[in-house]
Amino acid sequence: MGFLLSISNEDRASLSVAFMDLPDSATYYNGDSIAAAIDYFRLYRVGNELFQKSMAQIAFEDSGISFVNAKATREELNILLSDFSDEEAVAHLILYPAWRPGLNVIAGMRYRHKGYLYKVLLNHLTDTLNAPSVSDKFEKINFIPPWYPPEDDKSGYDIGDQVKYGDFIYESESVNNCYPPNVAHAPWKNLTTPQPSTGVPVFPTWVPRQSYEYGACVEYEGKYYFSNFYTNTTTPGTRLTWTEIDAEGNKIIPEWQEGQIYQYGDHVMLDGIEYECHLDNNTLRPTTDDTETSWAVYNTDIQIEDEEPIEGEERTEQEIADGVNIPDEEE
């Protein structure tokens, strides 16, 4: 028994009883206590109605700070942080307020922006045209900061940005780079010598109810997984939301098994080709035949070339093999 969550307009929530044996996910709670389900989905009551808590409410709860005391806590924290040296400040980057337009900033204060820490040089009102990375009213503090997840999918690292991740230093090779440096094929260049030894993962252990961003890699029950979605709170191993990877970050695709039932979105390998399932309860064998719609070739590098006619002939190679003759030309 469990509870299915659905959200309607204005964050109104509803829970429905479901007799399914599924793992906990963003929309399903496996348990028989409605109070526990409300707590799991981070809901709250207003009269007889349920509502989903905002990200701001959840952030405040997780930090132990109430809405009432938030401003006073920020001001006190700013006073404590003002005594940090620049090197200490970079090491505690996450504690500093994020830059945003509409702030009255004072010279000497420090703000984080796109993974870096900046010091205010002139008192001013911030605006979108004078972000710290392009404005002469800020000075970048040139210590390599630890990697932190971007606040959203539009505030990633820029080309040339450098970060520390574990014992290594990486440089971004892409604009708006939101990937962790330890993700396979992520646009980061490892600047550290020697390079990390292969087969020694630095993936953190998965934490229940923690929200993971797209590209996050975790360890769970001795296996490694790659998050396929933003704000992913499902358990690693859940279909579609996580992909199993090896210790070097390469995804693991199982071989197709005859007689096994596959669901929409499953991936398998057969004869060196990766396929994606396009049918629920699918037991059919994958094929490259375009007329077969239950599977689709997933490899983007596979190309089926058109048959070229042999020079001087109007028959294709296949027609020649099949013994197809060219009609005699009319005299």
Instruction: Please name which of 79, 44, 86 lies closest in space to residue 61, comparing C-alpha atoms.
Output: 44
Instruction: Look up the domain containing 155 and give its range.
Output: 149-196
Look up residue 321 and give its DSSP letter.
Answer: H
| Selected residue with higher pLDDT from 195 and 103 | 103
- Assigned domain for 10 exists: yes
Number of domains making up the chain:
3
Q: What does the pLDDT read at residue 304? A: 40
Looking at residues 15-42, what average pLDDT do you find? 86
Statement to judge: residues 133 and 176 lie in one domain: no
Position 313 confidence tier, pLDDT thresholds 50, 70, 90: very low
CATH number at residue 134: 2.10.10.90
Q: What average pLDDT does the chain have?
A: 79
| This model's pTM is above 0.95 | no
- Assigned domain for 128 exists: yes
pLDDT score of 123 more than 90: yes
Position 122 confidence tier, pLDDT thresholds 50, 70, 90: very high
pLDDT score of 300 more than 60: no
Q: What does the pLDDT read at residue 215? A: 74
Q: What does the pLDDT read at residue 201? A: 52
- Assigned domain for 11 exists: yes
The residue behind tokens 């906990």 is 24
pLDDT score of 213 more than 80: no
Q: What does the pLDDT read at residue 55? A: 67
Mean pLDDT: which of 2-11, 144-153, 277-286 is highest? Answer: 277-286
- Assigned domain for 311 exists: no
* 37 Cβ contact partners less than 8 Å away, ≥ 6 residues apart: 2, 3, 5, 15, 29, 31
CA angle 109, 110, 113 (to 5 degrees): 145
Q: What does the pLDDT read at residue 56? A: 64
Looking at residues 196-203, what average pLDDT do you find? 54
- Assigned domain for 326 exists: no
Question: Which tokens belong to 155?
Answer: 């505030």
- Assigned domain for 175 exists: yes
What is the number of residues in the chain? 331
Find out whether the peptide bond into 327 is cis, omega within 30 degrees of 0: no
Looking at residues 116-136, what average pLDDT do you find? 90
Look up residue 178 and give its DSSP letter.
Answer: -
